[in-house]
Amino acid sequence: MSKLFEPIEIRGIEIKNRSWVSPMCQYSCDDGFANNWHLVHLGSRAVGGAGLVMSEAAAVEPEGRISPWDLGIWKDEHIKPLKDITKFISDQDSIPAIQLAHAGRKASTKRPWQGRGRIETKDGGWIPKGPSSIPFDEESQIPSELSSEEINEITTNFVKAAERSVEAGFKCIELHLAHGYLVHEFFSPISNIREDNHGGSLDNRTSFGVEIAKKIRQKIGKNIPIFARISVTEYHPDGWDIESSVILSKKLKQAGVDLIDCSSGGNYFDQEIELKKGYQVPLSKSIKSQAEILTGTVGLITENDHAEEILNNNEADAIFLGRELLRNPYWSLYSQEDIKAWPLQYQRSFESIGNIKYIRKND
Active site residues: 181
SS3 190: coil
Provide the residue type at 241 as one letter: D
User: Which among 249, 347, 238 has a CA at the least distance from the CA of 289?
Assistant: 249
Neighbours of 223 (CB within 10 A): 10
Q: Distance from first CA to last CA of the chain, Å, rounded?
A: 27
Rounded distance between C-alpha atoms, residue 77 and residue 278, angstroms: 39
User: Which among 84, 100, 94 has a CA at the least distance from the CA of 40?
Assistant: 84
Rounded distance between C-alpha atoms, residue 107 and residue 125, angstroms: 9
Rounded distance between C-alpha atoms, residue 198 and residue 330, angstroms: 44
Rounded distance between C-alpha atoms, residue 311 and residue 289, angstroms: 13
Sign of the C-alpha dihedral, residues 33, 37, 38, 43?
positive
- Sort 38 into a burial class: Cβ within 10 Å, 0-12 / 13-18 / 19+: buried
Q: How many residues does the chain have?
A: 363
User: Which among 78, 17, 7, 9 has a CA at the least distance from the CA of 223?
Assistant: 9
Residues 6+ apart with CB under 8 A from 238: 189, 190
